[in-house]
């Protein structure tokens, strides 16, 4: 059996191609059963997210035939000619397919290095495939290993630590200034998407009190209704700053909206309690000298992006350690898989020896006469001892071949020889001759 992975992601395909190949959750059960026909593909899983679409399959087909089969499935299922997407596809086989899955699950192949969401998405894809009945012994062995690798990467490296988006950096900085965000008040000036995202992150971190101030009162009221916040007019800006602990400014215009005198007056009213300002506007709309006031912490978009760059570089340095964990896990899985595959060969070999030994015993039994129970037991112990001694060297060699991954030609030849032996019929069974009487 061969493990094959075929897919596309944010690096190889634009969103207009990815969205055409994407699978909705509701259609996955039917799609999985269509993919896994039990003959050309025996096990299968589909991972479909906003950034990637991947098909993971176990197949007896050759690499080329398996790729053609999966491409045909994608084209027929999603009603897209292969020529419109196949240039965006990548594919991996066996060891490299396992490596890719482990890297994806650990967040090492994500748009944002180390992001944790993909772990849950792979887990959901596994659960959906298991529910559809398209997971067998190989994928049941593989997917838990992928989850274990991801957990090791997160606990043994810092690849998933340190904020790597402007909005999450803003939250991280706010936490350094204010230990507890639950009782803090956030003032949002403007209605930019990045500012709104920062507000979402802050509220997800426990912030409960939100004020929204906008040039257009109607827009402020719309956002306030969405967030359960309080809408304010621009005329109330100074008093709003006095009430706030965290100010996020994202408005257009060439002039400063938040001036030094606004903040100085607000700081007097708030008795110089710390004030955290984030100016995400370009050009800036918070007067830079505001940051010189005591207990005022001002960060603009360049400050935040510089922190993001430092954090990303730290994640990249940790990714090298994560890759070592992945490599170790790939080797361990390939050995486990080979042992899983060699198991039936060893079991069949043992059964074949027993068939021959006990078959010969039955052919000669009439010459033995009546045996006592003790003699029967002794005879069976004798046969088992002979079988064990004959089997041990061959079984040890098969285990060695599995552990080494059939790297040596003699191991491959040895395994093929035993497969031929097991497939062959015992010539003595078809012979009509009677055994000679023992002398």
What's the token pair of residue 24?
A: 């909705």
Domain match, 146 and 82 both: yes
Residue 437 lies inside a defined structural domain of this protein: no
Question: In angstroms, what CA-CA distances link 35 with 38, 45, 73, 74?
Answer: 9, 9, 7, 9
Query: What is the rounded distance in angstroms from the CA atom of residue 34 to the CA atom of residue 317?
Result: 42
Question: Which CATH number covers residue 227?
Answer: 3.40.50.720
Q: Which residues contact 330 (CB under 8 A, 6 or more apart)?
A: 95, 98, 99, 102
Q: Is residue 180 part of a domain?
A: yes
Confidence bin at 433 (pLDDT 50/70/90) = very low
Q: What is the pLDDT of residue 123?
A: 97
Residues 97, 217 within the same domain = no
Q: What is the dihedral of CA 232, 233, 236, 242, to 10 degrees?
A: 40
Residue with structure tokens 């690849």?
159
* 249 catalytically annotated: no
Given a cut of 60, whether residue 401 has pLDDT beyond it is: yes
Do residues 138 and 171 share a domain?
no
In terms of average pLDDT, the best of 201-205, 229-233, 236-240, 260-264 is 260-264
In a domain? residue 438: no
Enumerate the β-bridge partners of residue 213.
189, 232
The larger pLDDT score, comparing residue 35 to residue 238, is at 35
How many domains does the chain fold into? 3
For residue 353, how many C-alpha atoms fall within 13 Å in the half-sphere facing its CB? 18
Q: How confident is the model at residue 416 (pLDDT cuts 50, 70, 90)?
A: low
Distance of CA 198 to the CA centre of its chain: 26
What's residue 179's pLDDT?
75
pLDDT score of 428: 43
- The band of 219, judged by pLDDT with boundaries at 50, 70 and 90, is confident
Residues 206 and 284 grouped into a single domain: yes
Q: Which of 156, 175, 207 marks a domain boundary?
A: 156
Last residue of a domain, which of 156, 182, 207? 156
Inside any domain, residue 272: yes
**Do 9 and 147 have their domain in common?**
yes
* 436 assigned to some structural domain: no
Q: In the prediction, which pLDDT does 414 show? A: 62
Asked if 338 and 196 sit in the same domain, the reply is: no
Choose the final residue of a domain: 156, 177, 211: 156
Are residues 31 and 84 both part of a single domain? yes
* Structure tokens given for 198: 């920062």
> Could you tell me which residue, 323 or 206, shows the higher pLDDT?
323
Kindly state whether residue 329 falls inside one of the protein's structural domains: no
Are 216 and 348 part of one and the same domain?
Answer: no
Residue 225: pLDDT above 60? yes
> What is the band of 348 on the pLDDT scale with cuts at 50, 70, 90?
confident
- Same domain for 183 and 243, yes or no, is yes
Is residue 439 one of the residues assigned to a domain?
A: no
What is the average pLDDT score of the chain? 86
Checking if the pLDDT of 417 tops 70, the result is no
pTM above 0.75, yes or no: no
- pLDDT for 170 equals 81
List the catalytic residue out of 50, 87, 347, 390: 50
> What's the pLDDT score for residue 376?
86
Judge if 152 and 24 occupy the same domain: yes
pLDDT class of 193 with cuts at 50, 70, 90: confident
In sequence order, the 6+-apart residues with CB closer than 8 A to the CB of 180 are 206
- CA 369, 372, 378, 380: dihedral to nearest 10 degrees? 70
Which pLDDT value is given to residue 436?
Answer: 40
- 349: in domain: yes
Supply the range of the domain harboring residue 356: 334-430
Question: For residue 343, what pLDDT is reported?
Answer: 67
The confidence band for 114, taking pLDDT boundaries of 50, 70 and 90, is confident
Q: Any residues with CB less than 8 A from the CB of 35 and at least 6 apart, and which?
A: 41, 44, 46, 55, 57, 70, 73, 77, 134
59-63, 243-247, 249-253, 353-357: least confident range: 249-253
Q: Clarify whether residues 104 and 131 are in a common domain.
A: yes
Same-domain check for residues 141 and 171: no
**pLDDT band at residue 99 under the 50/70/90 scheme:** very high
Residue 215 scores a pLDDT above 60? yes
Split at pLDDT 50, 70, 90, the class of 435 is very low
The predicted model gives 147-154 an average pLDDT of 96
pLDDT higher than 60, residue 431: no
pLDDT digits (tens, 9 = 90+) for 1-52: 899 999 999 999 999 999 999 999 999 999 999 999 999 999 999 999 989 9
């Amino acid at each position: 059996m061969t493990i094959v992975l075929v897919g596309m992601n944010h690096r190889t395909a634009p969103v207009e191609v990815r969205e055409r190949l994407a699978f909705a959750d509701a259609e996955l059960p039917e799609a999985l059963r269509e993919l896994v026909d039990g003959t050309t593909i025996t096990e299968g899983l589909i991972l479909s997210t906003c950034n990637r679409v991947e098909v993971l399959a176990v197949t007896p087909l050759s690499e080329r035939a398996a790729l053609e089969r999966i491409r045909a499935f994608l084209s027929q299922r999603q009603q897209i000619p292969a020529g419109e997407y196949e240039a965006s596809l990548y594919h991996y086989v066996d060891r490299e397919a396992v490596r890719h899955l482990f890297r994806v699950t650990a967040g090492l192949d994500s748009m944002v290095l180390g992001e944790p969401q993909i772990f849950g998405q792979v887990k959901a894809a596994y659960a959906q495939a298991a529910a559809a009945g398209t997971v067998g012994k190989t994928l049941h062995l593989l997917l838990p290993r992928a989850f274990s690798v991801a957990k090791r990467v997160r606990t043994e490296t810092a690849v998933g630590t340190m904020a790597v988006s402007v909005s999450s950096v803003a939250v991280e900085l706010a936490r350094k200034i204010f230990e507890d965000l639950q009782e803090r008040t956030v003032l949002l000036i403007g209605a930019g998407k990045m500012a709104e995202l920062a507000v979402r992150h802050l509220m997800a971190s426990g912030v409960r009190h939100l004020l929204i101030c906008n040039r257009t009162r109607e827009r402020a009221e719309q956002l306030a209704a969405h967030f359960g916040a309080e809408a304010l007019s621009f005329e109330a800006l100074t008093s709003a700053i006095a009430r706030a602990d965290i100010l996020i400014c994202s408005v257009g215009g060439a002039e400063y909206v938040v001036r030094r005198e606004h903040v100085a007056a607000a700081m007097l009213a708030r008795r110089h309690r710390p004030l955290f300002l984030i100016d995400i506007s370009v050009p800036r709309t918070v007067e830079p000298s505001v940051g010189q006031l005591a207990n005022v912490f001002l960060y603009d978009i360049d400050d935040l992006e510089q922190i993001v760059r430092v954090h990303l570089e730290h994640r990249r340095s940790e990714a090298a350690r994560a890759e070592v964990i992945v490599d170790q896990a790939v080797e361990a899985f390939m050995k486990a898989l080979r042992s899983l595959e060699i198991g039936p060969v060893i079991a069949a070999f043992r059964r074949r020896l027993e068939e021959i030994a006990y078959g010969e015993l039955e052919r000669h039994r009439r010459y033995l006469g009546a045996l006592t129970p003790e003699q029967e037991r002794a005879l069976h112990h004798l046969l088992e001892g002979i079988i064990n001694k004959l089997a041990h060297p061959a079984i040890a060699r098969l285990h060695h071949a599995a552990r080494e991954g059939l790297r040596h030609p003699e191991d491959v030849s040895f395994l093929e020889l035993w497969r031929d032996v097991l497939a062959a019929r015992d010539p003595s069974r078809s012979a009509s001759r009677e055994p000679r009487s023992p002398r």
